[in-house]
Amino acid sequence: MEMLGPRVWSSVRQGLNRGLSRNVGGWASGEGRKVDIAGIYPAVTTPFTATAEVDYGKLEENLHKLGNIPFRGFLVQGSNGEFPFLASNERLEVVSCARQAMPKDKLLLAGSGCESTQATVEMTVSMAQVGADAALVVTPSYYRGRMSSAALIHHYTKVADHSPIPVVLYSVPANTGLDLPVDAVVTLSQHPNIVGIKDSGGDVTRIGLMVHKTRRQDFQVLAGSAGFLLASYAVGAVGGVCALANVLGAQVCQLERLCLTGQWEDAQKLQLRLIEPNTAVTRRFGIPGLKKTMEWFGYYGGPCRAPLQELSPAEEEALRLAFTNNGWL
């Protein structure tokens, strides 16, 4: 088992301990330990009815089905959750609904990011009150030209200072046009209420660098997509938050298991078969592609809110090919 470093070991141990009682805000207790977020999370979609209302019943159904897969927890209102399209009350109701529908022993990450610091603080506090275990906070980005490291450090520090639950940083340049700078990540990793980062940029050199430069902190790095999950584990990441886990959740968890137990040959084989499907439900066809695929795999997909459009027939066929060509359909 010599291929497992300290971080990896700790998450294997964690794996044996999936029944841990949720210890919300435990980081602040006397023991001085942050919550361990290692593991796999699907980036849950928000189901809508034909008239574009949030369909909480379908959300419950999806979560029940996903509940049988050995995830560490669930992320609601990541980029795949269409959070920019939800009103504040809907954002809280989705968190509340997820908390009720999902197994008690799993972590509920909730995307609480807004453009202003104050709104993000308020949303984070409210999401904690309705059951979120940790808050995933996307970089504000509309004024990206002024989002220096100093501005972002200030933003995240304020949010973490006021949040009753641990904060996970979230860098997703495809949506925000902004990478959270590594130097800012390193500074923020020292905050007692910031426990990690979801990095969706896919630059594994950067992921390795963040692991390396935060190695003396209680700080964990999660891959933001299944396309580079194996590579991220190889450089010290401890899990992933993945759109693909909505449809191939068992396989993503199997990939985690192969990495954690050092079965790199099989891990590589599996990883390679997941790249095309992953790209198809993320960068290439986005949430409409993901929701369409969910229907093929027995989940409720349904429409997106406008302005997101349905796939064209040609796009749908290309989407399907990405799965059939790799033996998943």
The catalytic site residues sit at: 170, 198
Shortest spacing between CB 98 and its own copies, in angstroms: 20
Run of H or E residues at 108? strand 107-111
Strand intervals (E) in 225-273: 239-242
Dihedral (C-alpha) 160, 166, 170, 176: value to the nearest 10 degrees?
-50
Shortest spacing between CB 148 and its own copies, in angstroms: 7
Name which of 105 and 115 has its Cβ closer to its own copies.
115
Q: Residue 116: exposed, middle, or buried by beta-carbon count in 10 A (0-12, 13-18, 19+)?
A: exposed
The distance from CA 215 to its chain's CA centroid, rounded to whole angstroms, is 21
229, 242 in Cβ contact below 8 A?
yes
Q: At what angle do helices 88-101 and 117-129 cross, to 10 degrees?
A: 30
The response to whether 238 counts as a known ligand-binding position is no
Dihedral (C-alpha) 271, 275, 276, 279: value to the nearest 10 degrees?
150
Q: How many angstroms separate the CA atoms of 260 and 65, rounded?
A: 25
Q: Is the dihedral of CA 80, 83, 89, 90 positive or negative?
A: negative
Q: At what angle do helices 264-279 and 249-260 cross, to 10 degrees?
A: 150
Exposure letters 298-323 (e unless 16+ CB within 10 A, then b)? ebbbbbbeeeeeebeeebbeebeebb
Joined tokens for residue 13:
């141990």
230, 259 in Cβ contact below 8 A?
yes
Q: At what angle do helices 149-162 and 117-129 cross, to 10 degrees?
A: 30
In the block, which residue shows the tokens 């989002």?
A: 147
The SS3 assignment for 270 reads helix
Name the binding residues for pyruvate.
Answer: 241
